[in-house]
A and B are shown apart, each in its own frame.
Chain A
C-alpha cells in the first residue's frame, strides 16, 4: 500500500469510529492539541486511560464479587472511569458508566454486574480500535508520511 492509500485508510478508519459513536468530539480536541512539539500527545493520554481503566475495571470486579457489595467503593470507581473516558472522547464507555452509576444509586447488585460487563465490552472495543488507529499512524510515519487531519463532513 502506498502512502496516499495508507493516509486515506486512516482517515476512513477514524471517520468510522466517530460514525459508530465509539469516539466523540473530545477525541478531536485531543488531536488538535498535538503538534510537532508534542507529536505523541494523543497516544500518551490514551495510554494513561488504558492503564487507569485496567486498574479500575479490576477493582470493580473485585468489589462486585464481595459477599456484601460496598457501593461506597463501587460508585467512585465508576465515576472515575466515566470521567477519564469522557476526557478522551470514549463516548460509549462513558455512556455505559452513566447507566452503571444509576444502578449503583439503586444498589442493584445484579444490574451492576450486567453494567460492568457492558462497560468492559465497550472498553475493549475502544481499546482495540484505538490500538489499530495508532498502528496505522505509525505505519504512515514510518513511511515518511504525515498524519492527515481528520475531515468530518457529517
Chain B
C-alpha cells in the first residue's frame, strides 16, 4: 500500500498550504531522575518537539488514561507521538511500562524508546522483543533525539499524506472529472 502512496507524496509536499502542516511531535518523557528529566526535556525542546515530562511510570499511565482506576474515556484526543522512558525506575520499571503500553488498544501503536545507563544485552533484547522502538544508552545524545524525530516525522508525514489523499478521493468522487484516472493508479 505504501508503494502506491509514495509517488503522490512529492505533489502534496509542493503545496502544503492547501492542507495545513503537521503538528510538532509530542513526546512523553518518563524518568525518576531530576537531572535526567531536565536534560531530556531540553534535548527534545531543542529538537522542536512538544514535551510532557513525568517522574514515574505510574504517572505516565495516569497521563495516558491507563491508570488502574481510569478508563480511556476522553483520552481519544490525546496525541502522543513518542514515549521515551528510563529503564530503571523505582516501583514500575520502564520495561513494565512498555508492556502496559503495548497491551493498550489506544496506545500500542505509539513508539516507545527505552533509555538506560547500563549496556546490558539481555535487557536490550528483552525490550526490543517486547516491541520497543529503540534502546538508547544514557547520557542520551542530541543526535539520538534528532534521529528519532526525523524517522518519526517521515511516518507522520506518510500518514498525513494518506489522510490528504483520502480527502482528495472523497472530493473527486463528488466531482468525477479525473476519477477514472485516479482509480487506475491505485
**Residues of A that sit less than 8 Å from B by CB:** 26, 29-30, 32-33, 38, 41, 44-45, 48-49, 51-52, 76, 79-80, 82-84, 86-88
Contact = CB atoms under 8 A, between A and B. Distances in A.
A34 to B, nearest CB: 9
Contacts of B121: none
A86 B139 contact: yes
Contacts of A82: 117
Interface stretch (B31-39, B58-66, B98-106, B126-134): B31-39
Interface of B: 33-36, 38-39, 42-43, 46, 88, 90, 117, 138-139, 141-142
Contact of B35 (A29, A32, A88): A88
Nearest to B117: A83
28 contacts: A29-B142, A30-B39, A32-B142, A33-B42, A33-B43, A33-B46, A33-B142, A41-B42, A44-B38, A45-B35, A48-B35, A49-B35, A51-B34, A52-B34, A52-B35, A76-B88, A76-B90, A79-B88, A83-B33, A83-B36, A83-B117, A84-B34, A84-B35, A86-B139, A87-B35, A87-B36, A87-B138, A88-B35
Nearest to B34: A48
A148 to B, nearest CB: 21
Contacts of A80: 33
B141 to A, nearest CB: 7
B33 to A, nearest CB: 6
The 6 closest A-B pairs by CB, nearest first: A84-B35, A48-B34, A87-B139, A83-B117, A48-B35, A87-B35
Given A48-B34, A52-B33, A83 B42 contact: no
The interface residues of chain A, by DSSP majority, are classed as: helix
Contacts, number: 49
A38 B45 CA distance: 11
B120 to A, nearest CB: 13
A45 B141 CA distance: 16
Given A29-B139, A32-B142, 17 more contacts: A29-B141, A29-B142, A41-B42, A45-B35, A45-B38, A48-B34, A48-B38, A51-B34, A52-B34, A76-B90, A82-B117, A84-B33, A84-B34, A84-B36, A86-B117, A87-B36, A87-B39
A84 B139 CA distance: 9
Contact of A86 (B34, B43, B138): B138
Contacts of B33: 52, 80, 83-84, 87
A111 to B, nearest CB: 21
Contact of A83 (B38, B46, B138, B141): B138
B19 to A, nearest CB: 30
Contacts of B88: 76, 79
Contacts of B141: 29
